[in-house]
Structure 1
Amino acid sequence: MIIWNCRVCGLGYDESPWGVDDRTPDFTFCECCGAEFGYNDYSPESARRHRANWLEGGASWHYPNLKPLDWRLEPQLTFIPDRYR
């Protein structure tokens, strides 16, 4: 069950890398966009900046072996939390 979406690319996770308090990042990386949680997504501006760079670079998966065969960018981007769009 998805309970958290990446602030940069919208990828769904079943656990928040920002902890239960939403204030304690674990500094791991998004499987999709490669954002370092707690660094590239610490503010709406930093998330937008990382997203722009990721999209400009072709929106490649950070861990390509985890990319679903039926993955589509546009639907995933709709899951970016409103504050970080």
Structure 2
Amino acid sequence: MYKCLVCGYLGLYEKPYDKNGCASYEICPCCGFQFGFDDKDQGKTFESYRIKWISDGAQWSNKKKQPRNWSLEEQLKNL
């Protein structure tokens, strides 16, 4: 499992970027960031996306994957 560089989620199936800098295009089920699209195509930084996601209520993109006792504060410690 790999870490989301935006929200600190520790359940990505692929490394966000390979050794050559190519993106996985995986979408984080927590914050919804898509590596290779939101950053490169849309020009969003991890920090700017994180700030907007938190200010919008830090809602899970895929609510089925949200752990029962999930804590935003604890997850952000992974960054």
Q: Shared topology, TM-score over 0.5?
A: yes
Stretches of structure 2 lacking an aligned partner (at least 5 in a row): none
Counterpart position of 1:6: 4
Q: Distance in 2 between matches of 1:55 and 1:75?
A: 14
Contact 2:14–2:24, Cα closer than 8 Å, also in 1: no
In proportion to residue count, which structure has more helix? 1
Q: SS state of the match for residue 55, structure 1?
A: helix
Higher relative contact order (CA 8 A, sep 6+): 1
Mapping of 1:1-85 within 5 angstroms? 2=1, 4-13=2-11, 15-19=14-18, 21=19, 23-41=21-39, 46-80=45-79
Stretches of structure 1 lacking an aligned partner (at least 5 in a row): 81-85
Taking structure 2 as the reference length, what is the TM-score of the superposition?
0.80
Q: Which digits, 9 at most, give the CA deviation of each residue in 1:41-71, with x for residues without a partner?
A: 55xx711110011001100000001101011
